[in-house]
Structure 1
């Protein structure tokens, strides 16, 4: 059963890792962007940085191999996506992150509470896994919300494609993590 879960984790996340987001060739779609594309990239870059901190903890602290495998896959995917968004922001002449209050009208930064991250760092064993999975489920739900904001009014083809893939992959990750929470360790 563990082997099937491990294969399922790899399969679900392979689509994200197999087709990494890439910046468009210079002089093409990078010139087409609006405020929503910039906000999406800035908010999602900050969001990814926080997720990377959590999954890197899980890669060493999680007791179950399937949870560590999921964390490793998320790390690879979100590292690649983060680099892509940073390239876009630079090519658009935009700062990599905006003032914390800049996106307050859109629900803020959609990140995890720093106290929750601190508690996660202190947790061990089964307690760590439960906290990690619950925190990451909420975090990935917020990523879906940010992605849907982009698909609702963004114009950059690359950002729209990334947002669609984030919506699909994070939805699959949430379903997988919910199954992990309902499985005995």
Structure 2
């Protein structure tokens, strides 16, 4: 008869439903865990998403500021002298050297100006205490003076010279000027903290020491620069 079989059928159905409920509950638990997993991953990844927060690339000290504030007017005067050479020099070698100096130092002025602005420091105006109506009104902007900088009288004499006399005067003055720049750059290499500034200082020492040697040869008085250091 079919009556005894009905209870067995019902028991089987109940067991099947219970199993299904357990399976669904288990899946729900796994889903919750997996849902929490992305949150944990995101939290762990967030510190590496902004490495600049602890990067020391922007750190600088007073030596870096002094280097930039002193070298900007120093470079500006070298460019003024180079412009004079293009107009008054008789030697093509002197003119070529003047163009090389101007090409190298103009972008360095722009770079150092950017540094000072980003640091919130004053940017020297003109040639910083050199006169000619360009003296800086900010204290400390003339730290480049004495480091091979020419006086107003020197610049007027150079401007008034022509031909071979100009060439000799230009080379003599520019050697002194470069020696001052090398001394300033060596100080930055030793005392500075800002990587790009120290790198620029190293480039100045290398390039201007080589130019000093070149100019001494052009004058016939070749000798190593006393201010250059390895």
Q: Which residue of 1 aligns with 2:213?
A: 175
Following the alignment from structure 1 to structure 2, what is the Cα–Cα distance between the partners of residues 83 and 55? 17
- Flag structure 2 segments of 5+ consecutive residues without an equivalent: 1-51, 125-135, 222-230
Separation of aligned partners in 2, 1:107 and 1:49 = 11
Which of the pair has more CA radius of gyration?
A: 2
SS of aligned partner of 2:140:
coil
Deviations 1:127-176 (A, max 9, x none): 00000000000000000010011011100000000000001111000000
Cα separation, partners in 2 of 1:86 and 1:30, compared to 1, 3 Å = farther
Match of 1:51 in 2: 78
Indicate if the aligned counterparts of 1:144 and 1:166 stay in contact, CA closer than 8 A: yes
Aligned to 1:131: 169
Structure-2 residue corresponding to 1:15 = none
1:108 CA displacement: 4.4
Query: What TM-score comes out, normalization by structure 2 length?
Result: 0.63
Please, which runs of 5 or more residues in structure 1 have no aligned partner?
A: 1-25
Q: How many residues align?
A: 157
**Which protein has greater RCO, CA pairs closer than 8 Å, 6+ apart?**
1
In 2, the alpha carbon distance for the partners of 1:61 and 1:80 equals 24
Closer, same or farther: CA 108–73 of 1 in aligned 2, 3 Å: closer
* Distance (Å, rounded) in 1 between the aligned partners of 2:99 and 2:207: 15
1:66 CA drift (Å): 1.0
| Counterparts of 2:198 and 2:80, CA distance in 1 | 25
